[in-house]
Amino acid sequence: MTVEPEDAKKIFYNDLTPEQGEEQFSKLMPQSLGVYSSTSSYAAWVDIPSTFLQGDKDQSSISAAMVEMMIKGAQQLNPSAFDVIEHCPEGGHCLMISNPDWTAAALIRAAEVDA
C-alpha cells in the first residue's frame, strides 16, 4: 500500500496550511505494513487508564464510527478502557502537530485524572 504525496497531505495534514502540510510531508518516512497485520502481544490500555484523543476533522480511514467501534471493543475487554475521550473540533489526524497546545492541555488533564 502506498499513500501518494497529495493524498498524504489531505489525509494527515488537512488541518494545516498548505505550506505547513508540505513541510510535514517532506519528513514522512515509509512504514511497514506489518503494523496492520501483526498480532499485538500487549495492549497497555488494558492495565493503564487511558485517554483517547480524536480530531473531529480527521480525514484518515479511521472514521468516527470506526473509532467508536474500537473504543467499545476495548471497553468490552476492560470496562474502564478509554474512560475519557477528548475531541479537538478543529483537529485532523496529527493533533500533536496541528494543535500542540490543545494536545498538551489534554495530556495534562489526563495526567491529573490519573494522579
pLDDT class of 100 with cuts at 50, 70, 90? very high
C-alpha to C-alpha distance for 13 and 58, rounded to whole angstroms: 9
Q: What pLDDT, on the 0 to 100 scale, is given for residue 1?
A: 63
Alpha helices in the chain (DSSP H): 5-12, 18-25, 34-37, 64-77, 95-98, 100-114
Residue 113 amino acid letter: V
Sequence-ordered list of residues with C-beta below 8 angstroms from that of 23, at least 6 positions apart, any chain: none
Question: Chain-wide mean pLDDT for the chain?
Answer: 86
Parent domain of 101: 5-114
Cell numbers placing 85: 475521550
Q: Average pLDDT of 79-95?
A: 90
Helix (H) or strand (E) holding 54: strand 51-55
Q: Which of 17-21, 81-85, 98-102 has the lowest mean pLDDT?
A: 81-85
Quick: pLDDT tens for 9-63: 888 899 999 999 899 988 888 888 887 788 888 888 888 888 999 999 998 877 7
CATH number, domain with residue 99:
3.40.50.1820
**For residues 79-97, average pLDDT:** 90
How many domains is the chain partitioned into structurally? 1
95, 53 contact by CB (below 8 A): yes
Task: Quickly state the pLDDT bin for 91 (edges 50, 70, 90).
Answer: very high
Q: How confident is the model at residue 103 (pLDDT cuts 50, 70, 90)?
A: very high
